[in-house]
Amino acid sequence: MQVSAIIVASGMGTRLGGDIPKQFQLLRGKPILVHTLEAFARADVVRHIIVAVPEGYVQHTRELIANFVHSNETAARIGYSKIREIVSGGLSRADSVHIAIKQLPADTEIVLVHDGVRPFVSEKLINAVAESAQAYGAAIAGVPLTDTLKEVNESGQITATPDRKRFWRAQTPQGFTYELIMKAYARGEKDGILSHVTDDSALVERLGVLVKMVEGDAGNIKITTREDLALGEVL
């Protein structure tokens, strides 16, 4: 199974604050993005990694990775050499993924897409999503809702209490066969919806494809706010 990973780190992260995008801010002395890259570089199933970063940050990211390679005696074991390309992302998340998938090696069979600010992803989850994507064509990580779910109208009044057993919170990685994700993005581009899509699964679902849900990990958090960063320090 030839697995390539796309790490999406092209947002500016304004909710977290600071002078630099959140993916470059430090978590226990190391940039969040570097933690994420190392998680995928260590995973034996992953062969190649493409990283999408904000416009103007490609060289910064190259230098950042180079610094950690040169200062890390175990760089070869971690697998930094798997990082194939660092590309400048687009105006939206989907635009960035679309740019990145065009850089994938021709022999790629399974594509994993992961948020650059989810640094706590485990190799077990990476493997599980890749294997499910191979078996079903499309699979994503997620966790069941534990809170009661309420549906409200425009006036803020409750109109329904859906059964929470039917609802999951989507995470990443999300995995797809190469042919499927290419087809989904081609359709999305043709229909002009890439600027509105928040995850890759939504594009695949538009093709009428059923996506397998793989139980993720509550600790696989996305660092978006200062509170998330504080929780990340604890984790």
Average pLDDT value for residue range 190-205: 95
Collapsing DSSP to helix, strand or coil, 103 comes out as: coil
Are 172 and 210 within 8 A, CB to CB?
Answer: no
Average pLDDT value for residue range 70-95: 78
Q: Which of 84, 85, 177 is nearest to 130 (CA)?
A: 177
pLDDT reading at 74 higher than 60: no
pLDDT digits (tens, 9 = 90+) for 128-181: 999 999 999 999 999 999 999 999 999 999 999 999 999 999 999 999 999 999
Question: Which comes out higher in pLDDT, residue 78 or 61?
Answer: 61
Average pLDDT value for residue range 168-197: 96
Collapsing DSSP to helix, strand or coil, 28 comes out as: coil
Q: What pLDDT shows up at residue 211?
A: 98
Q: What pLDDT shows up at residue 76?
A: 52
- pLDDT-above-70 percentage for the chain: 93
Q: What pLDDT shows up at residue 202?
A: 97
Collapsing DSSP to helix, strand or coil, 77 comes out as: helix
Q: Which of 228, 29, 1 is nearest to 118 (CA)?
A: 228
Q: What is the DSSP letter of 196?
A: G
Domains, the chain: 3-234 (3.90.550.10)
pLDDT band at 17 (very low <50, low <70, confident <90, very high): low
CA–CA dist 235, 107 (Å, integer): 36
pLDDT band at 69 (very low <50, low <70, confident <90, very high): low
Q: What pLDDT shows up at residue 235?
A: 81
pLDDT reading at 208 higher than 70: yes
Whole-model pTM: value is 0.92
Q: What is the DSSP letter of 164?
A: G
Are 141 and 173 within 8 A, CB to CB?
Answer: yes
